[in-house]
Copies of this chain bind each other. A is one copy, B any other.
Amino acid sequence: MPMTQIEQLLAIEAIKRLKASYFRFVDTKDWEAFASLFAEDVLFDISSGHFDCILHSPREILEVVTPRLRDCVTVHHGHCPEITITSDTTAEGVWAMEDKLRWAEGSDSPIRALHGYGHYHETYRKIGGEWRIQSMKLTRLRLDTEPWEAAG
């Protein structure tokens, strides 16, 4: 039985909110809540010109992302979601994004700061009544970095 129009609108709102939580939990470093937003078999691809990074589980995401963002103030903003419901338990979406990261003095980050722009290309799956991020791939429009020496 296909979704009604109202069920589709409710699903779109729920997915917008899922991604809003994604941004808020990463910036407030609520890591356990962050991990809970992903399907267990998630495909999380934040590769960029600077590095390859494809992760395959919520646990792996935490293991890789949290040390990178230690001693880092992050701001991640998402804009203009385009969400398409593809079945009663699957959906896909594109989000414009901007991220601004600044590491503290003494951090072992290779750069002092990063300011980027791009799009998240995502799929979602409803699991146990809750929408989760099934896959995420980031493409970049622009990525500006600031070396440590510029801080002097």
Residues of A within 8 A of B (CB): 5-6, 9-10, 12-13, 16-17, 19-21, 23-24, 27-28, 73-75, 77-82, 94, 96, 98, 100, 102, 117, 119, 141-142
Contact = CB atoms under 8 A, between A and B. Distances in A.
A65 B12 CA distance: 33
Given A23-B96, A75-B98, A78-B79, 9 more contacts: A6-B6, A16-B80, A23-B79, A24-B80, A24-B82, A27-B96, A27-B141, A75-B117, A102-B142
Nearest to A80: B20
A132 B5 CA distance: 21
Contacts of A81: 20
A142 B73 contact: yes
Contact of A142 (B75, B79, B98, B141): B75
27 contacts: A5-B6, A5-B10, A6-B6, A9-B9, A9-B10, A17-B82, A20-B79, A20-B80, A20-B82, A20-B94, A23-B79, A23-B96, A24-B94, A24-B96, A24-B119, A27-B96, A27-B141, A28-B119, A73-B141, A74-B141, A75-B98, A75-B117, A77-B79, A77-B80, A77-B96, A78-B79, A79-B79
